[in-house]
Structure 1
C-alpha cells in the first residue's frame, strides 16, 4: 500500500529530530526576565477540512505566527501559508510560503520558497530529496538560495528502545566551509528519552525528556560550546502538552 510522501518539511525530519529538536534554542525575539530567556509555542491542527486538506495554526510568542493549509494524497504534498515573522528592526514582517513534495513513501523530491512581502523579495529558496527505508533515512537539501548543501542520515538501531543514530554534513559553497554534527538517542524507560549531539565547531548538547500519561512532557536540555571560552554553558527547561 502506497502512503503519502508527506510535506517538504518532512525531508530529513528523523535526523533533525535527533540532532536539533528540543535542544537549548531560542528564536531571535523572545521574552527576557533577569537571567532567563523564554517563549511559548501554541499549535492547533484541523484534520480533513475536505478530503485531502488539513489546516494548521502555529504561534511562537512573541516571535512569529502562521496559518497553513496542506493538501496530501498518495503522491503529492503541497503546503501554503501566510504568517508574521519577528524582525528586531521592523517589528513583524508578513511572509508567504509555498512548498511542494512529489514522490512516494520511499523516495520524494520537493522545493520550498518564501516571499518577504514588505521587501518583495524571495526570502528562502530551498530544494531537496529524501530516501526512506527500514534501514536508512537519508536526505540531501540545498538552502540559503542554493548556497548551503546539507546531507543527513538516520538509522534506527532498536525500535523498542527508540535507539537511533544520526549525522548531518553541512557545506557552504561561498565560505568553502564544512561542518559535521553527529548524535544519538535512547529511551532509558518507555517514557524517558535521552539525546546527545556534538559538532565539529566544538558545540555539545544533551536532552532528557520525561513523558507523563503520553500527553505531558518535561524536557531538560544543556549546551556548551568548547570552541568559545567566552560563553557560558546554557541550560533550558520546557514543558509540552499535546
Structure 2
C-alpha cells in the first residue's frame, strides 16, 4: 500500500484484532491445500453448541483475476470474482449467492496516494448502497462511511472517525451507531514480543461506558498467548502454537464471573496447511 491511507474499515483494526481475532469458543477445523497452478482448496468445519457448519472453498488466481467459490452445508453456493487494476489503482469484485437471486453485489475500491474510496451496491431492484472514504496518509487518516437502504429510503448507518498509526502504536476515535456512540481504541507495542490494547465505548443515549483491555505476548517464535478482560466481568485467554509451518492450533477459554453456575467456555481450532 506504500504511503496510501488505509481504507475506513481498517481504522482501529490493529486493536480490534488483538482483542477479538481467533477467539473461537467451539470446535473448528480448517484444511488448506495450496497449488502452484493457481488453484487453492480449503475445507472448514465448525461445531458450536449443537450446531455444525461446514464449507468447501476453492480459489483460482490467474493474472489480475481471482475467482472464489464456496459451497456450505446448506447447499448454498457463493461466488466472488475479483479483478485488480482494470483501471490504475482500482479493484472490482462481483459476488452473488445461489439460490438467493437478490444477493448480487458489486464492490469497487480506488486507492489514491492521499485517499481511499470503497463503494458497494446491491444488484437488485431495491439495492443497499454503501460508501466509505478516507483521506490523509499511511500514518494519519480521517474518514467516514454511510449505508443507504433504497427499499426504505433511509440511512442504515453512518460513521465518522480518525486514526493514527505509528510503528509502535495505533489509536482510533469513531463516532458510530448513527452518532449514538463514541468508540476509542488504542494498541501499543511494549517491546518486540508484547503488545497491550484497550477499547472503550460511550453511549450518549444511556450514558453507559463499556471497555475491554487485552494483551498479546510472543513466548517464542512459534507460540503466542493472548488475554482479554471486559468490564462485564468476562476474562478470556488464548494459546496459539504453530506446530508445523503455517499450521496452527489455537485453544481459547472464557470465564464469566457473573455466571457462576455456568462452566467456562472452551474452544479448539486447528488450521492445517500441508
TM above 0.5, one fold? Answer: yes
User: Alignment length, in residue pairs?
Assistant: 225
Match of 1:206 among 212, 237, 243: 237
Match of 2:50 among 1, 19, 35: 35
Shift of 1:53: 1.3
1:19 is paired with a residue whose SS is: helix
Cα deviation 1:22-51 (Å, max 9, x = unaligned): 22379xxxx877634546696856543432
Contact in 1 for aligned 2:8/2:145 (Cα 8 Å): yes
Do residues 50 (structure 1) and 65 (structure 2) align?
no
Against the structure 1 CA distance between its residues 33 and 226, is the aligned structure 2 distance closer, same or farther, given a 3 Å change threshold? closer
Do residues 80 (structure 1) and 100 (structure 2) align?
no
- TM-score computed with the length of structure 1 as normaliser: 0.77
CA distance in 2, matches of 1:181, 1:113: 26
Against the structure 1 CA distance between its residues 25 and 118, is the aligned structure 2 distance closer, same or farther, given a 3 Å change threshold? farther
Against the structure 1 CA distance between its residues 147 and 183, is the aligned structure 2 distance closer, same or farther, given a 3 Å change threshold? same
1:228 is paired with a residue whose SS is: coil
Against the structure 1 CA distance between its residues 39 and 140, is the aligned structure 2 distance closer, same or farther, given a 3 Å change threshold? farther
Aligned counterpart, 1:89: none
Q: Name which one, 1 or 2, has greater alpha-carbon Rg.
A: 2
CA distance in 1, matches of 2:247, 2:163: 31
Match of 1:109 among 133, 142, 145: 142
User: Which moved further from structure 2: 213-222 or 108-117?
Assistant: 213-222
User: Which moved further from structure 2: 224-233 or 14-23?
Assistant: 224-233
Aligned counterpart, 1:13: 13
Against the structure 1 CA distance between its residues 69 and 198, is the aligned structure 2 distance closer, same or farther, given a 3 Å change threshold? same
In structure 1, stretches of 5+ residues that fail to align are 85-92
RMSD: 3.5
CA distance in 2, matches of 1:25, 1:186: 21
- TM-score computed with the length of structure 2 as normaliser: 0.69
User: Which moved further from structure 2: 13-22 or 225-234?
Assistant: 225-234
Aligned counterpart, 2:205: 174
2:190 is paired with a residue whose SS is: strand
Match of 2:109 among 37, 62, 70: 70
In structure 2, stretches of 5+ residues that fail to align are 27-45, 60-67, 69-81, 98-102
Shift of 1:197: 0.5
CA distance in 2, matches of 1:212, 1:10: 30
Against the structure 1 CA distance between its residues 120 and 193, is the aligned structure 2 distance closer, same or farther, given a 3 Å change threshold? farther
Against the structure 1 CA distance between its residues 51 and 141, is the aligned structure 2 distance closer, same or farther, given a 3 Å change threshold? same
CA distance in 2, matches of 1:58, 1:225: 39
CA distance in 2, matches of 1:49, 1:129: 30
